[in-house]
């Protein structure tokens, strides 16, 4: 008797309402009489939300309304029995439930060494803008990457489209077409390891001053 899971493995479950599992089972000698599905906590195989659901000779099944908890790793167990009464079991490698996007943090400019003396947002910048962000986090799966963009309005990316900054918490935009006296904003969003993306967080305005006057 041979038993194995399907080709597409999921590490994170982002929808609590429905869980689907597929597998491959075969027995050339006597054939398969039934398959049973269990869904249990990875910390204790006896702590199951679903216990030995008989799905006959199906090799895939979707289950609704399981009471998954956020951030907990679960495993699917398939028990297959042949017509001779022999059985075998297989556990999946586990998945974590994460249905919420990352929390947003704050975005601030890294000021140039040449700054006007006025208590304003103006900084002496020719073609680059540097920013730093903090406070973006995800309890269940962690942050995979952050994206940053530049625009002339809050939440816009009309100057520089979203750039993947990997797992960095700062970034410098180079060779930007910055205009004298124009206001610019940097927006950041984070994606967690489950693929869920946060809302945008936008910085305060920075005003370009190319004159170098103090």
Domain of 23, CATH number, reads: 2.60.40.10
Instruction: Give the span between the Cα atoms of 182 and 110, in whole angstroms.
Output: 18
**80 and 129 share one domain:** no
Domain that holds residue 64: 2-97
pLDDT average, residue stretch 137-144 = 95
Question: Above 50 in pLDDT, residue 112?
Answer: yes
Instruction: Give the span between the Cα atoms of 92 and 78, in whole angstroms.
Output: 8
pLDDT average, residue stretch 31-57 = 91
Q: What is the pLDDT of residue 113?
A: 45
Instruction: Give the span between the Cα atoms of 12 and 85, in whole angstroms.
Output: 35
Instruction: Give the span between the Cα atoms of 32 and 87, in whole angstroms.
Output: 9
Structural domain contains residue 39: yes
Q: What is the pLDDT of residue 114?
A: 44
**193 and 111 share one domain:** yes
**75 and 156 share one domain:** no
Question: Above 60 in pLDDT, residue 116?
Answer: no
Structural domain contains residue 213: no
Structural domain contains residue 214: no
Q: Which residues contact 134 (CB under 8 A, 6 or more apart)?
A: 105, 106, 169
3-state secondary structure at position 119:
coil
Q: How many domains does the chain have?
A: 2
**93 and 112 share one domain:** no
Question: Above 90 in pLDDT, residue 17?
Answer: no
Question: Above 60 in pLDDT, residue 94?
Answer: yes
| Of 179 and 124, more confident | 179
**17 and 93 share one domain:** yes
Question: Above 90 in pLDDT, residue 54?
Answer: yes
Q: With cut-offs at 50, 70 and 90, classify the pLDDT of residue 99.
A: very high
- The last residue of one of the domains, among 49, 71, 97, is 97
Structural domain contains residue 126: yes
**147 and 202 share one domain:** yes
**45 and 76 share one domain:** yes
Q: What is the pLDDT of residue 157?
A: 97
- Mean pLDDT of the chain, nearest integer: 87
**129 and 90 share one domain:** no
Spatial strand order of the sheet with 2-5 comes to 2-5, 18-26, 60-64
Cα-trace Rg, the chain: 26
pLDDT over 70, % of the chain:
86
Return the structure tokens found at 6.
């399907």
**124 and 200 share one domain:** yes
pLDDT average, residue stretch 44-54 = 88
Q: What is the pLDDT of residue 213?
A: 52
Q: Is the pTM of this model over 0.75?
A: yes
């Amino acid at each position: 008797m041979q038993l194995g899971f399907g080709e597409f493995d999921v590490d994170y479950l982002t929808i609590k309402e429905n869980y689907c599992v597929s597998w491959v089972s075969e027995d050339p000698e006597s054939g398969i009489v039934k398959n049973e599905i269990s869904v249990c906590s990875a910390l204790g195989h006896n702590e199951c939300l679903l216990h030995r659901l008989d799905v006959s000779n199906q090799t895939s099944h979707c289950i609704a309304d399981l009471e998954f908890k956020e951030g907990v790793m679960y495993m699917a167990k398939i028990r297959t029995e042949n017509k001779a009464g022999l059985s075998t079991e297989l556990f999946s490698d586990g998945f974590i439930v994460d249905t919420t996007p990352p929390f947003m943090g704050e975005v601030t400019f890294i000021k140039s060494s040449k700054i006007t003396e006025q208590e304003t947002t103006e900084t002496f910048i020719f073609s680059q803008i540097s920013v730093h962000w903090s406070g973006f986090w995800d309890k269940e799966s962690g942050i995979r990457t952050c994206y940053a963009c530049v625009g002339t309005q809050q939440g816009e990316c009309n100057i520089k489209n979203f750039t993947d900054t990997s797992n960095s918490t700062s970034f410098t935009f180079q060779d930007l077409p910055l205009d004298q006296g124009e206001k610019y904003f940097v927006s950041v969003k984070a994606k967690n390891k489950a693929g869920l993306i946060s809302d945008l967080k936008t910085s305060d305005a920075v005003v370009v001053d190319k004159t170098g006057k103090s």
